[in-house]
Amino acid sequence: MNEHRNRAESRQAWYRYPPLRNALAAGSIALAGFGLAHLGLVERDFERVFYWIAIPLGGFHWVREGIEELVREREVGIEVLMMAATVGCGLLGLWGEAAALVVLYGAAEGLEEHAFHRARRAIRGLLDLAPKQARVLREGREVEVAAAELRPGEHFVVRPGESLATDGTIVSGNTSLDESAVTGESLHVDKGPGDRVFAASLNGQGSITVEATAAFEDNTLSKIIHLVEDAQEQKGHAQAWIERFGRRYSPAVLASAVLLLLIPWIAGAEPGEWARRSVVLLVAAAPCALVISLPIAMAAGIGAAGRRGILIKGGAHLEHLGAVQTIAFDKTGTLTHGKPRVTDLFAPDGDESRLLSVAAALERRSEHPLARAIVRAAGDRGVEPVEAVGFKALTGAGIRAELSGSMWHAGSPALFKENGHDLRPLEDRIRALQEDGKTVVLVGDEQKVAGLLALQDTIRPSAQSLVETLHAMGVRTVMLTGDNRRTAERVARSLGIDDVRAELKPDQKVASVHELAASGSILMVGDGVNDAPALASATCGVAMGAAGTDAAIEAADIALMADDLGKLEEALHLGRKARRVSRQNVIFSLLVLAVLIPLGLAGMASVVLIVLAHEASELLAVANGLRAGRASVG
């Protein structure tokens, strides 16, 4: 029920939003009193009655917030300053000015809150892309039920042109899906039996039957929405600093206003004039635009990223995107497709089938892309893996297991050198394969090397253009990989990457990240699971292709739902845009304070003029902040 109400509120017209509705009503009453009095239709003394009605009506929402903040948190907020200014105007008999202050401040606060609400809730519009009904197969018949009633394990049918109600695995049928609601990627993806599919994906030409793997409230789309909303609540470093500053600044403004009231008693000046200056100072020095300048830009930027399939876990990470100086890439699965294939087999005894059978037996328990490629090659060639037991992963080096009573290894040449094997008979062959950009995996027992396999991955087409864009943006690029140096350097040269660090184990990747971070903000891009330690050590960790992978979404500060490097470029542009807009807002807000405060202290501006300037600056800061989400990327 709350969810539907929030979605309805996010779509309602601004003038129907309760704080704005009250402000508009109060403004109409105040203007009516002003007009009637100046037309001579009511007595000037009766004019105040209209203002007395307008003030509590227009101030109801923000006065309540100010009192709650003062009582519960013991903090003097901006609302308290405005309340004091309103009371001051009333005591001076300036009821028209008091009404103007209440109405204009209430309207500005209402517009700000409404804009902020829409920026935070816009991501919930994605829920509308998921159907409210699903055709579930029960007892051999299609039964239409509410999508919220779907449970994991149930089968449901999706016809051409329909959207998926929840996540699942295709049981039967082939089709192409538009997964842009989840990944932000508009290109259709071919899907068939056994493939993962996501809620709100739009089905193409084929009819498919899907086994639900998540309830409606737990599907990938719902997770994205919850993560984005949580992220929009989190504060960046700059925002937290401004809020700490505001908690000290507002009480100082209130104290300064009280001191102005004491000047007539000390200097024998006119009390009324200094009382007016005190009231004007309360309004002029209130840091409304400054306090709202960052959160609105952060919320808009995070929301816009979420709608593009880029999950940014908080304002601090969006700030880091805008300030990144170095980006470190994993190679396999990040700069390359992560789907290598076996290109060469060499067994000194000539029995390549036996070599492949042993290699597949060793690698079949591993999830590494190279291991999967070896197992896939064995299956394609009809080679059955031999029996193996006692598997143990050698992190960053290979794997070992027991075959026929002997301990066997599969891994990099460096692993076999460390184990004391003589690789001289194979050195020329290994070098030639590596210089050709291939990754070499050796297989052998504790006495000898039984042979080698060479595998090759393909570079992503978008990788080179991304690196060129990064260089144009002044960002340094580094490759951190466990692959051999020759292969890594060949890939790096073809892409124009600035620095290569190869043959790294996970702890060495972490050490490299720490070293790079010493010279400035560093972004680490990997798969979110295998590179989790390095991602966690970087200033900001980015997981590639995280759609449907809970571990990847949880591991990184930023998750790119699509397996597309172009999304990283979009994320960087959004970060820089949000940072630029935030800076503009902060500078603008400080300039407004620098102008209005001296005018107030000098008595050169009336309450109404200061209020108009103050609220106009706040609304300009809000409008500019929203640009972080509306403006095009690039």
| Active-site residue, selected from the candidate residues 178, 330, 483, 527 | 330
Whether the CB-CB separation of 236 and 586 falls below 8 Å is answered with no
**How many H-runs (helices) and E-runs (strands) does the chain carry?**
22, 22
Dihedral sign, Cα of residue 519, residue 523, residue 526, residue 527:
positive
Rounded CA-CA distance 364/567 in Å is 32
Whether the CB-CB separation of 324 and 476 falls below 8 Å is answered with no
DSSP for 241-259 reads HHHHHHHHHHHHHHHHHHH
The H-or-E segment that residue 375 falls in is helix 369-380
Nearest Cα to Cα of residue 30 among 110, 112, 98: 98
Which pair of structure tokens corresponds to residue 463?
Answer: 């990788």
Rounded CA-CA distance 147/167 in Å is 11
Rounded CA-CA distance 321/633 in Å is 14
Nearest Cα to Cα of residue 167 among 137, 200, 193: 200
Which pair of structure tokens corresponds to residue 334?
Answer: 């990040």
Nearest Cα to Cα of residue 385 among 398, 399, 374: 374
Whether 230 sits among the annotated catalytic residues: the reply is no
Which residues fall within 8 angstroms of residue 394, CB to CB, at 6 or more apart?
Answer: 400, 409, 411, 415
Give the SS3 label for residue 523: strand
Query: Catalytic site residues?
Result: 330
